[in-house]
Amino acid sequence: MNNYGVFGNPIAHSKSPLIHRLFAEQTTQHISYEPLLAALDGFPAAVQEFFRTGSGANVTVPFKEQAFALADQLSERAQRAKAVNTLKKLSDGSLLGDNTDGAGLVNDLLNNQVQLAGKNILILGAGGAVRGVLEPLLAQHPAEVGIVNRTVEKAEQLAREFTDLGPMTACGYDWIDAPVDIIINGTSASLSGDLPPLAATLIKPGHTVCYDMMYSKDTTVFNQWAQQQGAARTLDGLGMLVEQAAEAFYIWTGLRPDPAPVLQQLRAQLE
């Protein structure tokens, strides 16, 4: 039996053990997958101990940057993200670090028939969550990706780092009010019930699609705002969670599970 798990602090709330158990059942794999609580100052030691017998692990808040530093090899998307959410033990015992967050976001958008090629996309926030999705998003050849952030310098720095992959712009919230095709909320504001200071004119009624990378039982504050402004559609990040897990499962096992029934089951539990 191959052993897997997910590192975090806190971690008891994680849906990853259920998701991967369902993937394993679907693909007839005999695996174990456990939540792994690491002390805030004890992540490297916890990883070392786990991989004595473990085959792979997911990594969530607040350890993704530490996982990036620990990995012996890095995928290109992990190098771009400067964060790792998936670790795999290779045959020589070394650790491969990858980042499946961006693939999870893109796959969920495409599953929902949201066209990305040629579109003007606005991303709210300039933290690790946004950094992790830019490379796969730009690979879809949008017309432009704009990063808007309270600290403009942070947005500008991020845009500079990724501008070789596609057209990028950066600005503050009070600098932008023209309508866009897609708005992605990459801030954690929804977790605290807050809303970034957005101009209503960013949404073209009946046209703009809004996506919150957070999810909850009820419609997130950002998606409530989007609906009030007449957004064509609003989506939350539950599908992204399942899709990034499916990508990690594929990295570990070489098998690509079907995320759709797993997402359906999680959605039913949430509601």
Question: Active-site positions?
Answer: 64
C-alpha torsion sign, points 98, 250, 186, 47: negative
**Cα–Cα dist 246/250, whole Å:** 6
**Cα–Cα dist 183/202, whole Å:** 8
Sheet containing 168-171: order of strands: 168-171, 144-148, 120-124, 182-185, 209-212, 233-235
